[in-house]
A and B are shown apart, each in its own frame.
Chain A
Amino acid sequence: MQILIVDDSTAMRKILRRIVETLGFKVVEAGHGIEAMQQLGSFPTTEVALVDWNMPEMNGLDFVKAVRANPLYEQTKLVMVTSETDPTKMARAMMAGADEFLMKPFTAEMLLDKLHLIGLTMPRVC
C-alpha cells in the first residue's frame, strides 16, 4: 500500500515518511503539486496523498482539484496536512474533494486517527 507525501518542506516530508513507514506503507514524495501529479501518473494506485496547502508551482488546493478532475484517481484519498485553519478555506478544499484535514502541528496518533477516519486498513498494526 502506497502513500504520496506532498510538501515543500523536506523536514515535514521526513517526519511524515517516518510515521507512515512505521505503519507499513510504502512512500513516494513530491515537493509541490506538479511533481505530485507526475508521481501519481507513475503510481496511479496510490491509496492516500498527504497534501500540504501552501507550496510553490501548484498549491494543495489546485492539486486536489486536479486529482479529482481525473477519474483514474477516484479511489485515492486526499488528506490535507496543513497549518491552514481558516474554516472557509478548509470548506473550499473539502468541496473540491479533500477527504480530511490534519492541522499542523500534529502527532503520529492524530495522523493515525485521520487514516482510520478515511477507512484505511493499516498494512501493519504498530
Chain B
Amino acid sequence: MALDVQDFEFIRNFLLKRSAIVLDDEKRYLVETRLQPLAQSEGLANVRELVTKMQKTPVNGLHQKVVEAMTTHETTFFRDINPFNALRKSVLPELITARSSTQSLRIWCMACSTGQEPFSVAMLIREYFPQLQNWKISILATDLSMQVLKRAREGVFSQHEMNRGLPSTLMLKYFQRNGMNWQVNEDIRRMIVFQQLNLIEPWPLMPLSDVVFLRNVLIYFDVTTKKSILANVRRIMRPDGTLFLGGSENALAVDDSFKRLEIEQSSVYRLR
C-alpha cells in the first residue's frame, strides 16, 4: 500500500523533531523503501500500520528504530582520500610539533556510522606515525544509531565493504579474515571509543579536540540546525584544532567564526 500524504507528513515531522533530518516532498519513496522492511520485521503489514503504531504508543524503541532506518549510513574506508592525505601530510605533523610537551592528541569522528572513518584514522596513525606509539591518542567515534555503533565496535566488515577504499597492504596488516568477513585487529579497535550521541541534542561535557571529522552530515540538516551543530563544534575544538567537513559542505556560509584552508586538495576549517 502506498504511503499517503498524512503518514508521510507524520514521519517527516517526527524525523525533523527527533533528529533534524529534513525530508523534501520527493523523498516519500525513500520513507517507503526504508520503513517497509522495518514494518515487516515488527510483524506489521505496511508502513501505514507502522505509523499508526508509532502514533498510538509513547516514544519507545520502535521510534528509535525508525530514526535508525531513515538515517543514511553510507561510508567507506579512506572516503574521498584527500582529507586523509591532508591529515597525514600536514595536520598531524603540525599537531605533533604543537603538542610535543603534552604528547596527547584527541580526534573525534562524528556520525561515524559503521566505523570505517575512525578505523581509517587509527590505521593511518599506526602506519605513518610510529613516533606516536607512546603518546596518549584518543579517538572518539560517535553516532546517533546504536545499531551501527554495535557493528563498529565489533569491527567486522563484509568483503563488499573491504573492497571500498581500503589499500590491500593495510587490509593484510590490520585485519584478520573471519569466514566470509574481515575483522579489524584488536590493537586498532582498542584505539577507538565508540559512544552514542545525537548531534542535535545537548552535548555532554567533552575534553577539547585537536581534530574533528564531521563529514557528509550537515547536508541532511536545515540552516538553523547546521548553525547549532557548528556552534557546538566550535566549543569542543582547540583554538588550533582542525575541522574536516564533506566535500560538498561549507562551514563559511553557516558560521563565520571558521576560516577555510586548502590542504592536499581538501578543504579544512580552523577557528579565526
In the complex, the answer to whether B81 meets A116 with C-beta atoms within 8 Å is yes
In the complex, the answer to whether A113 meets B169 with C-beta atoms within 8 Å is no
**Which B141-169 residues have a C-beta within 8 angstroms of A?**
159-160, 162-165, 167-169
Bits for A81-110, please: 1 = Cβ < 8 Å to B, else 0: 000011100110010001011110011011
Inter-chain CA distance A114–B176, complex, in Å, is 20
Q: Which residues of B contact A106 (CB under 8 A)?
A: 163
In the complex, the answer to whether A94 meets B159 with C-beta atoms within 8 Å is no
Inter-chain CA distance A86–B182, complex, in Å, is 11
A103 CB contact (under 8 Å) in B162, B167, B169: B162
In the complex, the answer to whether B177 meets A94 with C-beta atoms within 8 Å is no
In the complex, the answer to whether B164 meets A101 with C-beta atoms within 8 Å is no
Chain A nearest CB, measured from B125 CB (Å): 19
Q: Does B172 contact A (CB under 8 A)?
A: yes
Chain B nearest CB, measured from A106 CB (Å): 6
A109 CB contact (under 8 Å) in B162, B164, B169: B164
B163 CB contact (under 8 Å) in A90, A98, A113, A116: A113
In the complex, the answer to whether B168 meets A101 with C-beta atoms within 8 Å is yes
Known contacts: A87-B177, A103-B159, A116-B81. The answer to whether A94 contacts B164 by CB under 8 A is: no
Q: How large is the interface on A (under 10, 10 to 19, 20 to 34, 35 or more residues)?
A: 10 to 19
Inter-chain CA distance A98–B167, complex, in Å, is 12
**Nearest CB in chain B to that of A118: its residue:** B167
Q: How large is the interface on B (under 10, 10 to 19, 20 to 34, 35 or more residues)?
A: 10 to 19
Q: Does B76 contact A (CB under 8 A)?
A: yes
In the complex, the answer to whether B168 meets A113 with C-beta atoms within 8 Å is no
Inter-chain CA distance A101–B159, complex, in Å, is 12
Known contacts: A87-B177, A94-B172, A116-B81. The answer to whether A100 contacts B164 by CB under 8 A is: no
In the complex, the answer to whether A117 meets B159 with C-beta atoms within 8 Å is no
In the complex, the answer to whether B163 meets A102 with C-beta atoms within 8 Å is yes
**Nearest CB in chain B to that of A116: its residue:** B81
In the complex, the answer to whether B164 meets A90 with C-beta atoms within 8 Å is no
A110 CB contact (under 8 Å) in B163, B167, B169, B172: B163
Inter-chain CA distance A48–B163, complex, in Å, is 18
Among A90, A91, A106, A110, max chain B CB count under 10 A is at A110
Q: Which residues of A contact B76 (CB under 8 A)?
A: 113
**Nearest CB in chain B to that of A91: its residue:** B172
Inter-chain CA distance A103–B81, complex, in Å, is 20
**Nearest CB in chain A to that of B78: its residue:** A117
Known contacts: A87-B172, A91-B172, A113-B76. The answer to whether A100 contacts B167 by CB under 8 A is: yes
Chain A nearest CB, measured from B121 CB (Å): 17
**Which A56-102 residues have a C-beta within 8 angstroms of B?**
85-87, 90-91, 94, 98, 100-102
**Besides the contacts A85-B159, A87-B177, A113-B165, what 12 more A-B pairs have beta carbons closer than 8 Å?**
A86-B177, A87-B176, A98-B168, A100-B167, A101-B168, A103-B159, A103-B163, A110-B160, A110-B163, A113-B163, A114-B163, A116-B81
> Footprint of B on A, CB under 8 Å?
85-87, 90-91, 94, 98, 100-103, 106-107, 109-110, 113-114, 116-117
